[in-house]
Amino acid sequence: MREGGSRSSPGPGPGSSGDPHQPPELALHDTGSGPSLLLLHAFPLDASQWDHQVAALSAGFRCLRPDMWGCGESPELPEPLLATLDGYAAAVLRRLDAAGAGEFVAVGSSMGGYTALALLRLAPSRVRALVLASSRASTDTPEQAANRRKMAELALRDGVETAVPMVKRVLGRRARDEPHIADPVVGRIRRCRPAGIAACQAAMACRMDETPLVGSVEIPALVIHGEQDAIQTFDEARALAAALPRGELVVLPGVGHLANLEDPPAFTEALRGFLERIS
């Protein structure tokens, strides 16, 4: 078991194999000690999305937070429009291997939830439990996927400011008018580079349909839904929890798509309660 404390391990270049075709290594933020808790961020944010949860939980858990390529401290992909969720999940597993982390509880917000499901499919023996916040198992519609690809190309052409208006969609009604919530979210968006925006959108646009996987999951699972979520509906969250054989549903009032940033204490307590129940 490693000692407490925090360190960030950025990936400045290709993987340790020296293969020029292997994507650059992801940055991994590693804080605390205990059972591994893998925290996977939403689009268009970075690992700092989980700062509150890390502060609250790192005394009892080893909190591991990767940054997507081009986000936070991770390097950019040479060809971000070719990014895939499976490629990202495989890169996460490589970083966990390098850090000596075996089994983990996967916690994913929105895009992070898609990544958590990809990890479950690629390495089922390593995922001890699953937390999906504001996420879904299904793929985009053709129209949604086309819109993602357009946004990816727009970000590469015009810069990261093209993603800033998303703050109005990802936050609940109350949070949009609260500068202490909305302003830090905008700041996090601006920490992504255009190639990061493009890689996230390209990866989500071509992700697999994980609906068959969800029905076969035999590990404990928690679905967290924000009452004011404008992207995932309550019916979708309820159906996802019902499809998971050991699924639970928690609805957080007064928050939108980024529940853990809009009401950090409520989200943390829901997560902590789940972790205590499965311990």
The residues of the chain scoring below 70 in pLDDT are 1-20
How high is the pLDDT of residue 22? 83
Please give the mean pLDDT across all residues of the chain: 93
**pLDDT tens figures, 74-114:** 999 999 999 999 999 999 999 999 999 999 999 999 999 99
Q: What is the DSSP string of 233-251?
A: -HHHHHHHHHHSTTEEEEE
Domain ranges of the chain: 26-278
List C-alpha distances in Å: 249 to 21, 241, 242, 244, 271.
Answer: 41, 6, 8, 10, 11
pLDDT attached to residue 1: 33
CA 46, 50, 54, 60 dihedral sign is negative
> Are the CB atoms for 148 and 140 separated by under 8 Å?
yes
Neighbouring C-beta atoms of residue 262, cutoff 10 Å: 25
Alpha helices in the chain (DSSP H): 51-57, 85-98, 111-122, 142-158, 167-170, 173-176, 179-191, 194-205, 211-214, 234-243, 259-262, 264-278
26-278 sits in which CATH class? alpha beta
What per-residue confidence (pLDDT) applies to 5? 53
